[in-house]
Amino acid sequence: MSLTWGRLIGQFMLAVVVVTGCSGGESLPDGKRVLQQGAAAMREVQSVGFAIRSEGNPPIPVKSADGKLLKSGNAQGTLRLDQSGQSVEMAFTLVGDTVYFKGATGGYQKLPKATVLAVYDPSAILDPQRGVVKLLETATDPKTDKREKVGGQEALRVKAKLSKSVVPALVPGVTADVDGQVWVAAGDHRVLKVRLPIQKGAVTVTFSDFNQNFVITAPKG
């Protein structure tokens, strides 16, 4: 009798373990669908704050940046660049086809936008044909692998291969496809963060302050 009861108890406990294990895993949305929703949401964004941070020593000219951007292309912020091994910080304002920039000393200098595009063009970020939208639309092998918070918002993390033809619009200097990660807000589907592991390090781009009424005008002096 005791042997029979022992077997019954053992079978019951095994059943509990199996059921618990099967029901404990969270079902995550399809990665392709998440990126499609992200692209659709970002297409409607009219302004955004952005930040770029590098980890390690990736071979890219822009090591960090903080700025605000309008969909029209006007932008304002600060950059830290690597120029021939030297770290150079500057403030910039992009208005129409003109860029105003200044270093640690002196006033603003004025240049045509075309002369600085090779270094960095923040206006590409919200351009549907070059920036975040294009990055998501051209991503391949997407897989949602985690749900976590970014800046206090619930987000879905999607791993995907990001095309070398689009990544440089966000991070200049990247010359190969990147197995990156994209965090898409679970609520409004806007892209909150992109992480790009590249040679000798990684780069993270974060987005915030969506659709704020930024006023960006040419600086005085």
pLDDT-derived band of residue 12, with 50, 70 and 90 as boundaries?
A: very low
Q: Break the chain into its structural domains and give their ranges.
A: 31-208
pLDDT value for 7:
57
CATH code for the part of the protein at 31-208: 2.50.20.20
Enumerate long-range contacts of 72-81, CB under 8 Å, 24 or more apart.
Answer: 73/123, 73/127, 74/123, 74/216, 75/122, 75/123, 75/216, 76/214, 76/216, 77/50, 77/122, 79/120, 81/119, 81/120
Mean pLDDT of 35-57: 97
Q: Which pLDDT score, from 0 to 100, does residue 221 have? A: 62
Burial annotation 34-56 (CB, 10 A radius, 16+ → b, else e): bbbbbbebbeebebbbbebebee
Instruction: Report pLDDT for 103.
Output: 84
Could you tell me which residues are beta bridge partners of residue 140? 161
pLDDT grade for 128, boundaries at 50, 70 and 90: very high
